[in-house]
């Protein structure tokens, strides 16, 4: 099943892609980091796997967590990402039966 985009959404998607394509890898990583951090701080929760619009954030987090655990993450990103993981831990869901 395909989702039909509205005219404004198509323009936003094209302009977002062009903006991302003109950036360096470091700038893209920093931009996504800031987006994920802002999402968590404004919504007071972590991205949900049940919402399609939040899958990009989850995929970015998963890829960076794998890189961190494998020791392949660039050193300047490690401290920032660990702070983001601490922020996520604050909003981690708890089992209501514990």
> pLDDT per residue over 52-93, tens digit each?
999 999 999 999 999 999 999 999 999 999 999 999 999 887
> pLDDT per residue over 8-54, tens digit each?
555 555 555 656 667 889 999 999 999 999 999 999 999 999 999 99
What is d(CA 67, CA 92) in angstroms, rounded to the nearest whole number? 21
Vertex 18 angle, CA 15 and 24, to 5° = 135
pLDDT score for 1: 45
Q: pTM for the full model?
A: 0.73
């Amino acid at each position: 099943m395909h989702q039909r985009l509205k005219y404004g959404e198509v323009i936003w998607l094209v302009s977002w892609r062009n903006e991302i394509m003109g950036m360096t890898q470091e700038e893209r990583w920093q931009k996504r980091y800031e987006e994920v951090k802002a999402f968590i701080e404004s919504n007071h929760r972590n991205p949900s796997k049940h919402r399609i619009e939040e899958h990009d954030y989850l995929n970015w987090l998963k890829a960076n967590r794998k890189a961190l655990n494998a020791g392949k993450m660039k050193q300047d990103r490690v401290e920032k990402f660990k702070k983001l993981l601490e922020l996520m831990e604050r909003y981690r869901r708890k089992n209501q039966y514990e």
